[in-house]
Amino acid sequence: MNKIGLIIQREFLNRVQKKSFLIATIFIPLIFPAIIGLLVFVAKQSEKNAKKEVVLYIDESSMFIPDTAKFIFKKFNGPLEEGKRAYTHTDEFGLLYIPRYELSKPKGITLYTKINPSLDDLNSIERLFETQIKELKMLKLNIDKKMLDSLKTDVNISTIKISESGQEKSSNTGVLFGIGMACGILMYMFIFIYGAQIMQGIIEEKTSKVVEVIVSTVRPFQLMMGKIIGLASVGLLQFLIWIILMTTVTFGVLHYFGIDPPQQQAMQQISVDAAAHQAAVNSEITNSINEIISLPWAYIAFTFLFYFLGGYLIYGALFAAVGSAVDSPAEAQQFIFPITIPMLISYLSLFIFILKDPQGSVSVWLSIIPLTSPIAMMGRIGFGIPAWQQALSMLLLVVGFILTTWVAGRIYRVGILMSGTKVNYKVLAKWFMQRG
Amino acid sequence: MDALEVKDVTKRYAHHVALDKVSITIPEKTIFGLLGPNGAGKTTLIRIINQIINPDEGEILVFGEKLDSPHIGVIGYLPEERGLYKKLKVGDQLLYFARLRGMSRKDALTKIKFWLERFEIKDWWGKKVEELSKGMAQKVQFINTVLHEPRLIILDEPFSGFDPVNAQLITNEILDLKKKGCTVIFSTHRMETVEDLCDHIALIDKSKKILEGSKKQVKEQYRTNTFIVDHRGTFSLNGGPYELLDQVEVEGGLLKSTVKMNRTGSPNDLIRDLIQITEVNSFQEKIPTMSEIFIRLVKGGSHE
């Protein structure tokens, strides 16, 4: 109907014309790469600039202690008590006491420090001893180091997925894990942010009594749907811009580092031969980048859009019902909590079950139940989903959306006109049952 | 023809009846006062007329036709509190609401310009409502209510938040609308407004209509046969057909007395008796104010 169109248009413009929309749309896709880049940069710099610390040591077992990246070891000649006294008067990092010990059971090695050493520091010193002792043992047992090294074999299992039609496709579990995690988290954020916006908008309309004027011209259900759809179209626009921006930035960066994305293969499945050939030619990094690029992006984007829309419409309707029932965002808290529980469950399961065992029964069921399926399905997306599961999940999502919208609509039409009432679940149920 | 006919309208909620067989007739081209204490059911009735909610029983006729969705364009509604988007610009806001009421974009723009010029607030077009004072916002809201030229206008406490200058401006607009043939319904607690502007009134209390009629009829109905006399020299009037309710000195030996006639008779009888005992300077029937009638009928009810 024409009037719903007007409301959709108004809601859309309200959001899109805001500065915050522009900022979020342009900067969020850049923020994550920027933060990661910055962290890597800082870590590299601090590693390079780190001053080496001096550790005094008293050795009663005559060991050889090589300097490490962080520590310089200086031998102190004298008994422990004297060493302790000398150490307290210096600025050195620590005093290491190495008593005479048995190779099979080293005991009594002690590090004296003025401040508590970090776990990393302690580990690095422990590893130092472990290597030393291992070499001493090898010497004692007459084991040749070369022989030992030759026993070690590097095994890399390459994974290739065969589809029912017999098509083979190389896959990289690490990459799929990353994709699933990124999509799941993004879905969680999207649903939450947009759902909360719907609720906020409705509370605002209710407290300013705008709703009375609007509802005298359209049915409450039309207003609610207009708002939900209007905001959904904002989300779609934002998503679209993000895809374009991220693609551009990614290709730009790859080009900058001189890695040429294989464009002909970008959207196709790479044949085993080609994959094998490339593996031989390209470095490992280029390989996993190719892996990323060769993912079925069109399919992932479509699935993401579908589940975003479905999940958003379900949660949006619930958030709308909550917004209509309360007079302030603070009052809404008690109702938001139960709504977020399925979201939290699917979010946490993403890390506990779904990414670890994407075809396990918990993962499968979570990705079929409508309230949890948007996040759970995105977690599984890279690993391949049997067609029947996806079809069932999508169907249930649509059914779930229709059901929640119907329930929410019934609460909404009464709620928006009630101010100053103390609302609990009993009241909500009464509104739901109310006629006319 | 009547602008609005409410016939036996009943609206029940889970624990109470908001409207109990209420019937009200509002003649065309009048200013009608819908009175009643808080919680009496006024808002419910207004919401039903605005088709925000549906009555459980009863019928409503607008200009002789059964109330239905096409009447959205016929009715203009100004809710008591703001009723505007805070973050939206004045121009966009008016345009949005006008179009929701079924106006074309072109018509709406012309009308908005006309009204902004009329209220001398043309430069407010790009301002957000949150930047306006309450009185300023109320002007925008008034424009919002009358923009689509409704024939029936419902105003809920239209004067709250206005300074006297702007209140006068709105009063003039309302009288002007009446002259043009509009019917105006006021829902209000402010009895001065009713006294000054309304031709007809209805009083709702505890979900029931307890009074309806033209202001003149109502006042006639609630005459108390009480008279106010300005006079020189004290008198007492106890016993007989009269009751002296009050006697106070006004200034310079002049006194003001309130006298009630206990049995019906002509005021002439009272004058004749009074001039025997005092020098009468003025004589006037004490007509009850709307406020007095309201309080008398809604005893024990809450009112602001």
Q: What is the 3-state secondary structure (H, E, C) of A99-160?
A: CCCCCCCCCCCEEEECCCCCHHHHHHHHHHHHHHHHHHHHHHCCCCHHHHHHHCCCCCCCEE
Nearest CA among A310, A291, A289 for reference residue A378: A310
Based on the fold, state whether residues A182 and A139 are members of the same structural domain. no
Instruction: Tell whether the model's pLDDT for residue B161 goes beyond 60.
Output: yes
Label the pairing between strands B2-12 and B57-62: antiparallel
Instruction: Tell whether the model's pLDDT for residue B282 goes beyond 60.
Output: yes
Name beta bridge partners: B57: B10
The model's pTM is: 0.70
pLDDT of residue A268: 43
Nearest CA among B222, B163, B207 for reference residue B21: B207
Span A195-207, pLDDT tens digits: 888 999 899 888 8
- Chain B neighbors of A213, CB-CB under 8 A: 77, 79, 83, 97, 144
| Model ipTM value | 0.74
> Is A21 among the domain residues?
no
pLDDT of residue B61: 92
Query: Is B100 part of the contact surface with chain A (CB cutoff 8 Å)?
Result: yes
Phi-psi region of B36 (alpha: psi -120 to 50; beta: other; left: phi over 0): left
- Chain A neighbors of B144, CB-CB under 8 A: 213
Query: Which position has the token pair 């345009």?
Result: B95
Best mutation target, B42, B72, B85, to test chain A (most A CBs within 10 A): B85
> Is A20 among the domain residues?
no
- Which strand (E) or helix (H) includes residue B208? strand B208-214
Please state the rounded mean pLDDT for residues B195-210: 88
CATH classification of the domain holding A72 = 3.40.190.10
pLDDT of residue A169: 57
Based on the fold, state whether residues A134 and A188 are members of the same structural domain. no
Instruction: Tell whether the model's pLDDT for residue A179 goes beyond 70.
Output: yes
Based on the fold, state whether residues A321 and A405 are members of the same structural domain. yes
pLDDT of residue B1: 80
Q: What residue type is assigned to position A74 of the chain?
A: K
Q: How far is A335 from chain B (nearest CA, A)?
A: 23
Please state the rounded mean pLDDT for residues A6-13: 91
Minimal-distance CA residue of chain A relative to B130? A208
Q: How far is A419 from chain B (nearest CA, A)?
A: 12
Q: What residue type is assigned to position A197 of the chain?
A: Q
pLDDT of residue B176: 92
pLDDT of residue A270: 45
Minimal-distance CA residue of chain A relative to B56? A436
Instruction: Tell whether the model's pLDDT for residue A278 goes beyond 60.
Output: no
Based on the fold, state whether residues A262 and A375 are members of the same structural domain. yes
Please state the rounded mean pLDDT for residues B126-154: 88
The larger pLDDT score, comparing residue B93 to residue B157, is at B93
Cβ(B210)–Cβ(B222) below 8 Å: no
Whole-number average pLDDT of chain A: 80
In CATH, what number does B2-220 get? Answer: 3.40.50.300
Label the pairing between strands A159-162 and A110-113: unpaired
The larger pLDDT score, comparing residue A50 to residue A104, is at A104
Span B229-248, pLDDT tens digits: 888 888 887 767 888 888 88
Please state the rounded mean pLDDT for residues B31-45: 87
Cβ density class B157-186: b for 16+ within 10 Å, e for less: bbbebbeeebbebbbebbeebbeeebbbbb
- Chain B neighbors of A215, CB-CB under 8 A: 50, 52
Task: Provide the residue range defining the domain that includes A260.
Answer: 170-433
Q: Answer whether B100 sits within 8 Å of A14, measured CB to CB.
A: no
Based on the fold, state whether residues A122 and A188 are members of the same structural domain. no
- Residue A101: which pLDDT band, with cuts at 50, 70 and 90? confident
Name the burial class of residue B256, with classes exposed (0-12), middle (13-18) and buried (19+) by CB atoms within 10 angstroms of its CB.
middle
Phi, psi of A160 (to 5 degrees): -130, 130
Please state the rounded mean pLDDT for residues A264-278: 46
- Residue A269: which pLDDT band, with cuts at 50, 70 and 90? very low
Minimal-distance CA residue of chain A relative to B44? A417
Domain borders along chain B are: 2-220, 224-286
> Is A11 among the domain residues?
no
Q: Answer whether B88 sits within 8 Å of A14, measured CB to CB.
A: yes
In whole angstroms, give the CA distance from residue A173 to residue A177: 6
Q: How far is A410 from chain B (nearest CA, A)?
A: 13
Label the pairing between strands A159-162 and B17-27: unpaired
pLDDT of residue A117: 81
Based on the fold, state whether residues A99 and A241 are members of the same structural domain. no
Q: Where are the alpha helices (DSSP H) in A294-424?
A: 297-325, 329-349, 361-366, 373-380, 387-415
> Is A401 among the domain residues?
yes
Based on the fold, state whether residues A262 and A310 are members of the same structural domain. yes
- Chain B neighbors of A216, CB-CB under 8 A: 50-52, 72, 75, 77
pLDDT of residue B303: 42
Based on the fold, state whether residues A214 and A105 are members of the same structural domain. no
What's the structural domain count of chain A? 2
Please state the rounded mean pLDDT for residues A290-301: 74
Q: Which of A144, A161, A186 is the last residue of a domain?
A: A144
> Is A162 among the domain residues?
no
CA dihedral B293, B298, B300, B304 (to 10 degrees): -80
Least trusted range by pLDDT, from A263-272, B182-191, B194-203, B226-235:
A263-272
